[in-house]
Amino acid sequence: MKQIITCTLLCGSLFAAACSTDTQQSKTEAMIDENNPFHAPSTLPFEAPDFDAISDEHYKPAMLAGIEQEMDEIRAIAENPAPPTFDNTIVAMERTGELLTRVQRVFNNMTSAHTNDRIQEIQSDMAPRFADHSDNIFLNANLFDRVRTLHDNMDALGLDEASEKLLRDKYRNFVRAGALLTDDQQKRIREINSELSSLSTKFQDKLLEMTRERAVIIENEDELDGLSRDRIAAAREAAEERGHEGKYLLSITNTTRVPVLTSLKNREVRRRVWEASAYRGIGQNDGIDTRPIVLRLAELRAERAQLLGYENFATFALEPQTAQNPGNVLNMLTDLVPAVRANTEREAEMIRQKMLEDGIDDQVRAWDWEYYAERVREAEYDIDDAEIRPYFELNRVLEDGVFYTMNRLYGISFEERFDLPVYHDDVRVFDVFDHDGEQLGLFYADYFARDSKRGGAWMSSYVGQSHLLDKKPVVVNVLNIDKPAEGEPALITFDNVTTLFHEMGHGVHGLFSDVKYPSQAMTAVPRDFVEFPSTFEEDWAIHPEVLANYAIHHETGERIPDDLLDRIIAARDFNQGFETQEYVAATMIDKEWHLLAPDEIPDDVTAFENFALAKYNLDYEPVPPRYKSPYFAHIFSGGYSANYYAYIWSEVLAADAFAYMKEQGGLTRENGNHYRETILSRGGSREAIDLYLDFRGQEAGVEPLLRRRGLDVDVDTL
């Protein structure tokens, strides 16, 4: 999908006959100086952004000019007196918006990876303008008539598979945006889209604000008993940066769980950290309350879906996904719940026994789980986090783990370069070369957490691949690993290791893209398919050959002992009840919000969440949802509204694909090339299910997923 469609799941539309802003004002605002670095394509390799030349003042003029430019291009297509053809309409649309795409790719990445007050101000101002611009394309009656004429006569056009799919998708996008509605209905759609866009931006801004505010300040180092020396040093430096000299700062991550809870021995400190995470966004302590935004977003989405003829937003959102409808998703998830609860309760009993050994005769609390889960893991598998982390130094994991695997599977290589400008000193840049020496594109790596970055991990792009536009990809992976104190090694958790592999899965999905049309390039696939390539790469992190290559002690240089390696792999199945339940619980909250009609929106966010969890037998206090609504970025400011299930749906494909590849010989170029050719290079040029069938030869079964998660459950194959 082209980058200019910035709010497709929220607004679902792009541009049209009537512009709601004053034309003269728009013309004036749209002026862009030739000295603006976005005025023309970057002269750097592969049109990589010239961050040394870009400043905050350049974004808004470039975006306004880009909107105006694309409006002119779209108007020329819509008003073309010649009969519509695939080239003069569909291909012509694929060529529009070059300036807007160029600036938005950079700006959108900065809003997440390195924002500031000025960028947030611009984002808030531009959000409704982008929604309006989106509507002005998809609600353009003349443009839609041309697309509909081509769609209705598709059989006579003689199109290839990718072109035919592009036409079908264009038509569907127009209809889903409201092209068939009445004028009054389209007016209301525009109003809803504008408000949705503004609210989503506001939610994102508040998440960043609350992450800063909800950090926990610790007075004495004694309270940090259990943390390693490097973690304590990092906490001290973080506190100093916030003006808390002589104290320690424990930051809050994007999920309800906080990684530091696995190590903190002090139960009261664990409680403080967990509550700081779990109770954010409800106006407590920091005064930041996102609940009104949550309620209004749910109401507007429901109204929009009904205007478009759908029962609810979930039905609307899942129509273009491989799952097709909410019923299929709910059937899969509810089938898992009994086994998940059984596993979770067994784990809870093991945790309670460990608490008793420490003299704590109390029920298991949410802030106890991760700490004592690690104690159980240590006892059952003889694994200690302090023993493991020295073998996982970030740079070695990246180069000898992630890059090594990419080379073994696909023959590609990464060579760091230092001549290209970056937006932060922590960002690294790599040339990516194919097996024959041809350069595929550029890879940016931004791994350390900071106040200017939102939580989580993601892949994005600065330049999209397209043969039509003669462009190669420039992609970026962003993580939030705690930065070590000055001079200390970056020793990371095994969760961080897995995330590095996961995001590189998205990365190669972008780097290997080999399609004609920009709308079908890279990761332009259904939401419940896009996480398949990333999840697939995760399992190579525990492949014995790969692990042995990167798990090397940062001080002694010794490879990880075979017995410890075996224990790490064996321990992978432990705590999967917890892992799965917290995810499924969040997924059910997402689903329940988006199954509501406009008149069913509740008044109390917390009460509604509790109702949703109880409905599916997921109301278990020691295992809260991975995200609660007030900070559920995926569904209230990201693109996963009613689609958070996509991770486990994609995991079915990933587990099945990995099991199949192991049967075919495992870590080999032959396997990697087949996967690259049938999945990674094709983007959205074919239907997702056809891509998988081409790779696998049959539909995916659920059994590999169950084995991957260590769940003992008998469910039907999906």
Tell me what pLDDT residue 12 has.
31
d(C-alpha 402, C-alpha 479), whole Å: 14
What's the CA gap between 569 and 302, in Å, rounded? 44
For 5-9, 315-319, 533-537, which range has the lowest pLDDT when averaged over its residues?
5-9
Q: Which residues contact 589 (CB under 8 A, 6 or more apart)?
A: 609, 612, 613, 625, 627, 628, 629, 632
Q: What is the pLDDT of residues 22-41, one digit of tens each?
A: 333 444 345 789 999 999 99
Percent of the chain at pLDDT exceeding 70: 95
pTM: 0.88
Per-residue pLDDT, 712 = 57
Assign 701 a pLDDT band (cuts: 50, 70, 90). confident
For strands 428-433 and 439-448, give the pairing. Answer: antiparallel
Note the pLDDT tens digit of each residue in 337-368: 998 999 999 999 999 999 999 999 999 999 99
Domain ranges of the chain: 14-205, 214-278, 291-381+575-644
Q: How confident is the model over 593-602, as a mean pLDDT?
A: 97
Q: How far apart are CA 291 and CA 630, in angstroms?
A: 6
Question: For tokens 């999967």, what's the residue?
Answer: 576
pLDDT over 90 (residue 705): no
Average pLDDT over residues 154-160: 97
User: What pLDDT score was predicted for residue 2?
Assistant: 34
Provide the pLDDT confidence category of residue 645 given band limits of 50, 70 and 90: very high
Using 50, 70 and 90 to split pLDDT, how confident is the model at 573? Answer: confident
pLDDT at 512: 98
Name the DSSP letter for residue 14: E
pLDDT bracket for residue 11 (50, 70, 90): very low
Q: Is 503 a catalytic residue?
A: yes
Helix (H) or strand (E) segment spanning residue 659: helix 646-663
Name every residue whose Cβ is closer than 8 Å to that of residue 325 and which is 6 or more positions away in sequence.
Answer: 315, 318, 319
pLDDT band at 46 (very low <50, low <70, confident <90, very high): very high
Report helix, strand or coil for 550: helix
The two beta strands, 248-250 and 216-218, are antiparallel
**DSSP one-letter code for 598:** G
Q: Could you give the CA distance from residue 132 to residue 247 in angstroms, rounded to a whole number?
A: 48
Q: What is the per-residue pLDDT for 6? A: 28
Q: How far does the chain reach from its first CA to its final CA, in angstroms? A: 28
Tell me the pLDDT of the chain averaged across its residues.
92
Instruction: Tell me the average pLDDT across 44-70.
Output: 97
15 has a pLDDT exceeding 80: no
Q: Is 289 exposed, middle or buried (0-12, 13-18, 19+ CB in 10 A)?
A: middle
416-465 confidence digits (pLDDT tens): 999 999 999 999 999 999 999 999 999 999 999 998 998 889 999 999 99
Higher pLDDT, 105 or 566: 105
Can you give the length of the chain in residues? 718
Q: What is the C-alpha separation between 243 and 439, in angstroms, rounded? A: 46
Q: Give me the CATH topology for the region 14-205.
A: Neurolysin; domain 3 (1.10.1370)
Tokens read off for 152: 């209705």
Rounded-to-integer distance, Cα 445 and Cα 314, Å? 34
206-259 per-position pLDDT tens digit: 988 887 778 899 999 999 999 989 899 999 999 999 899 999 999 888 899 998
Question: In which residue are the tokens 């005064």 written?
Answer: 287
Q: How far apart are CA 666 and CA 692, in angstroms?
A: 18
- Ranking 12-16, 32-36, 289-293, 402-406 by mean pLDDT, the lowest is 12-16
- pLDDT tens for each residue of 122-152: 999 999 999 999 999 999 999 999 999 999 9
Alpha helices per DSSP H over 214-266: 229-241
* Phi, psi of 525, deg, nearest 5: -130, 170
pLDDT score, position 471: 98
**Topology (CATH level 3) of domain 291-381+575-644:** Neurolysin; domain 3 (1.10.1370)
pLDDT of amino acid 208:
85
Query: What pLDDT does residue 19 have?
Result: 34
Of 5, 190, 187, 189, the closest CA to residue 93 belongs to 5
Asked if pLDDT for residue 8 goes beyond 50, the answer is no
Decide if pLDDT at 718 tops 60. no
Work out whether the CA dihedral 103, 105, 111, 116 comes out positive or negative. Answer: negative
- In this predicted structure, what is the pLDDT of residue 30? 54
The candidate with the shortest Cα–Cα distance to 133, out of 215, 34, 227, 26, is 26
pLDDT at 115: 95
pLDDT at 171 over 90: yes
From the candidates 29, 70, 303, 503, give the one annotated as an active-site residue. Answer: 503
Q: CA 281 to CA 272: how far, in whole Å?
A: 16
Q: What is the pLDDT of residues 361-376, one digit of tens each?
A: 999 999 999 999 999 9
Alpha-carbon distance of 515 to 534, in angstroms, equals 20
Nearest C-alpha neighbor of 638 from the set 454, 363, 495: 454
